[in-house]
Amino acid sequence: MTCRQPLIIPVLDIKDGDVVAAVGGDRNEYKPVKAPIFTSSTPIEIVKRYNSLFNFNLFYLADLDAITGSGNNSESISNLIGKTSCQFLVDGGYKKLSDIQHHHRITPVIATETFTEWDTCKSLSGTMVSIDTKCENLISPFPNATVEQILQKARGRGAKRFIHLKLDVVGTENFAQDRLIPPQDDEEWFAGGGLRSQCDLNALAARGYSGALVATALHKGSLP
């Protein structure tokens, strides 16, 4: 595979209307983000700040309330769409394709943690599929499902864009590129969890990844 300059996609984990700092997948402990580059934890202010500082125009949004079934942050997401010109990858806790909030600047993220229509949906070609793992095990409503089984189903329904999201290392700066899912030649893959530096991004590129979802390293200034 040809190595390309890896893309950094800033992460906004949204809980109760605030962008929160994610650590190790324990969402009960996530608190509103605090970093020298931010003066607020509201999604709109953080997106505008990222855009002004680094010219980021593509963001990954995780609606943690929708994912955990405790509500949703659709108002915050609509506000971002209405008040910016940015593009967004949105994990809205979708259980089925009919749950998706459609907009031409949103790419829906179909995450294994919540999605249930692997056997019945017609096509996933317009989505990005997130393979969510914790301690190398698939996170899924189906307790016996494996990474290999879900990948086969997603690929069979036309998915070409993927995320390997390792929830146990999110926010820990404990990136391990040797344990990532290897991409196929016609696929675009992004990694999420533990990215620390440009060296990690270069290691991703060498493994055929197009880039990474990043939060902590941006907050601490070790990236970009």
Please give the torsion angle defined by the CA atoms of residues 165, 167, 173 and 176, in that order, rounded to the nearest 10 degrees.
-60
Which of the residues in the chain have pLDDT under 50?
1-2
Quote the mean pLDDT of the chain.
95
Which tens digit of pLDDT belongs to each residue from 43-64? 999 999 999 999 999 999 999 9
CA-to-CA dists, residue 128 to 48, 91, 118, 142, 211, angstroms? 24, 9, 14, 20, 14
pLDDT of amino acid 178: 79
3-state percent breakdown (helix, strand, coil) of the chain, nearest 5:
30, 25, 45
What percent of the chain has a predicted confidence (pLDDT) above 70? 98
**Does the N-terminal peptide bond of residue 224 adopt cis geometry, omega within 30 degrees of 0?**
yes
Helix axes 74-83, 43-54, angle to 10 degrees: 40
Query: What is the fold of 7-220?
Result: TIM Barrel (3.20.20)
pLDDT of amino acid 3: 52
pLDDT of amino acid 1: 43
pLDDT of amino acid 4: 66
Which tens digit of pLDDT belongs to each residue from 166-210? 999 999 888 887 789 999 999 999 999 999 999 999 999 999 999
